[in-house]
């Protein structure tokens, strides 16, 4: 509806210019807002005020000119009013709003789909957990945000690829392998050798690298060691190769579990990108990235280390690429990784990070710019912590994981749908209280139940109609003008904004806008359902309301699908 009205105003401006009533050099951008007060119409624009200076006319005079030039060939306008200093208020006919139902039925699941992305290649990298432990609820929130954003951008016409970056290079995975090997030696009764392995691991300076106090990892490492002992191919290996076997098989097993958890969560990836690929001897991407930056004159040496002049691009200090001991930094790896993303043809990159990485954004923006790319092509969504609550008290740890709560455990307790919807209730950069009791409750206080129940309730209407032998005629043969109640028109107006909501949410990269919308739509639907009968002896009214029900159910299902949440037929 808004697009139709913008076109009407645009042509009115062109007509006024042709007649010489306005001397517009360039047609301005036309912004329509929904007035806060219902008496001010369905839409309002300030275009007359924005033209006042260039036209050297009072805004109200310009508004009158625009009003007189408007041609409503589609017959959607009830009336036009000029208010205040020059606002133009538009009142839409009820019959025009009713046409939204026909549009929804015609497009079905594609209602709201957009082409604003114009097939722009976008990569979203999210989760990217170290393959040294299970996914916790923080990873779950990042997974929900990244996957829902991918669905939303795809629906808005972008060419989206999902990527998981595997941190399988460096001290953390080495320590995982050492821990498994240590446990194997211990289980084999070689305590002296086990002490040597533990001492070697303890020499690593990575904070917490050899912390096997975590109950989950302790059990997991013990299980793996027992499994390996039982494998003939492992026992046949020389002792030095057993260490490598423990590391490589340990990574594979943990990645397999991470992948299974994510699939259960409704998340899949187009690419699992190994960090080791960056250090491939045949094509060392880290060295290539540093060489490119050196050729640009952006690399210097100081104190035996190699530095990147990130201060030239807005960072607060220059950053080390290669330490004075010859080891490359994580920053160097990240530069090479993101350079490779652009080389693969992506024109926009979105990373979903934990909020504790906020200080890392400026240096990565600087690195992107140093590589010759627009820093605005690199975006980061920060995901804040999740506070898990039960009976009003924080849930600090799980029985198996020890120091944190796993995503798997939360899914098992409340279900995948409730988990995903709850993670998306707030902006990702805001703290989230996840109340287990509330999320499991079947009440209007539970947002996901409230929305899903709206879909199930509407589905039940069609089952009731079938039981009564009611066959719904095509919408073009139904008298939709019977939908004249304020609640009915309010719901239709809410449905009409869904396409715009999709576009704005995609542009802002904010999938949580869909949860807000769904709660508002469900609230209007439930209130309407309680006050009025959908199926009655008045067949004409019944048919009209069933088509309204059909449209609402479709939009709820589509929006839930973009969140990765199911739309149940019954509950």
Low-confidence ranges of the chain (pLDDT < 50): 201, 203-215
* pLDDT of res. 402: 56
* pLDDT of res. 199: 59
CATH of domain 2-92: 3.30.1360.70
User: What distance separates the 2 farthest-apart alpha carbons in the chain?
Assistant: 97
* pLDDT of res. 86: 94
DSSP string of 163-187, one letter each residue: EEEE--SSHHHHHHHHHHHHHHHHH
State how far the Cα of 243 lies from the Cα of 247, in Å rounded to an integer: 6
pLDDT per residue as tens digits for the range 193-235? 556 555 554 544 333 333 333 445 667 788 888 999 999 999 9
State how far the Cα of 2 lies from the Cα of 493, in Å rounded to an integer: 11
State how far the Cα of 389 lies from the Cα of 414, in Å rounded to an integer: 13
- 436 and 395 in contact (C-beta within 8 Å)? yes
Residue 292: which H helix or E strand, with range? Answer: helix 285-295
* pLDDT of res. 207: 32
Secondary structure class of 464 (helix, strand, coil): helix
Class of domain 444-562: mainly alpha
* pLDDT of res. 194: 57
Rg of the chain (C-alpha set): 30
- Write down the domain spans for the chain: 2-92, 444-562
pLDDT per residue as tens digits for the range 364-384? 999 999 999 999 999 999 999
């Amino acid at each position: 509806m808004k697009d139709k009205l913008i076109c009407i105003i645009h042509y009115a401006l062109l007509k006024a210019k042709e007649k010489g009533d306005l001397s517009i050099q360039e047609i301005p951008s036309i912004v329509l807002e929904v007035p806060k007060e219902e008496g001010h119409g369905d839409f309002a624009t300030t275009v007359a005020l924005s033209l006042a200076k260039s036209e050297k006319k009072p805004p109200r005079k310009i508004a009158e000119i625009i009003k007189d030039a408007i041609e409503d060939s589609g017959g959607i306008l009830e009336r036009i009013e000029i208010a205040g200093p020059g606002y133009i208020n538009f009142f839409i006919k009820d019959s025009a709003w009713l046409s939204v139902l026909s549009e929804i039925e015609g497009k079905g699941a594609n209602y709201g789909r957009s082409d604003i992305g114009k097939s722009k290649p976008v990569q979203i990298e999210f989760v990217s957990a170290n393959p040294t432990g299970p996914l916790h609820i923080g990873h779950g929130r990042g997974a929900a945000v990244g996957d829902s954003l991918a669905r939303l951008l795809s629906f808005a016409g972008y060419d989206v690829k999902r990527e998981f970056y595997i941190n399988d290079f460096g001290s953390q995975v080495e320590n995982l392998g050492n821990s498994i090997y240590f446990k194997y030696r211990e289980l084999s009764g070689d305590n002296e050798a086990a002490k040597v392995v533990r001492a070697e691991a303890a020499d690593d300076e990575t904070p917490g690298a050899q912390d096997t106090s975590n109950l989950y990892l302790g059990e997991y490492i013990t299980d793996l060691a027992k499994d390996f002992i039982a494998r003939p191919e492992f026992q046949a290996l020389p002792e030095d190769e057993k260490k490598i076997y423990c590391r490589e098989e340990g990574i594979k097993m943990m990645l397999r579990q991470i992948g299974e958890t994510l699939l259960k969560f409704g998340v899949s990836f187009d690419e699992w990108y190994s960090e080791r690929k960056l250090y491939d001897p045949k094509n060392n991407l880290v060295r290539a990235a540093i060489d490119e930056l050196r050729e640009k004159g952006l690399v210097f040496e100081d104190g035996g280390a190699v530095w990147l002049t990130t201060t030239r691009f807005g960072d607060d200090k220059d950053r080390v690429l290669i330490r004075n001991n010859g080891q490359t930094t994580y920053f160097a790896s990240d530069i090479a990784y993101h350079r490779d993303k652009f080389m693969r043809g992506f024109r926009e990159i979105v990373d979903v990070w934990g909020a504790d990485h906020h200080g890392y954004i400026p240096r990565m923006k600087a690195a992107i710019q140093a590589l010759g790319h627009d820093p605005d092509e690199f975006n980061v969504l920060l995901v804040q912590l999740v506070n898990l609550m039960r009976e009003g008290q924080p849930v600090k740890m799980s029985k198996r994981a020890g120091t944190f709560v796993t995503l798997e455990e939360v899914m098992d307790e409340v279900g995948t749908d409730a988990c995903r919807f709850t993670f998306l209730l707030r902006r990702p950069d805001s703290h989230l209280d996840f109340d287990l009791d509330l999320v499991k409750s079947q009440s209007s206080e539970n947002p996901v139940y409230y929305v899903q129940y709206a879909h199930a309730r509407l589905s039940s209407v069609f089952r009731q109609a079938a039981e009564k032998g009611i066959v719904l005629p095509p919408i073009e043969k139904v008298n939709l003008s019977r939908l004249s109640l304020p609640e009915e028109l309010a719901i239709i107006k809410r449905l009409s904004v869904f396409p715009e909501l999709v576009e704005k949410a995609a542009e802002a990269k904010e999938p949580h806008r869909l949860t807000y919308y769904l709660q508002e739509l469900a609230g209007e639907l439930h209130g309407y359902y309680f006050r009025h009968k959908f199926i009655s002896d008045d067949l004409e009214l019944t048919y009209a309301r069933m088509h309204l029900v059909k449209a609402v159910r479709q939009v709820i299902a589509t929006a839930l699908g973009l969140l990765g949440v199911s739309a149940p037929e019954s509950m």
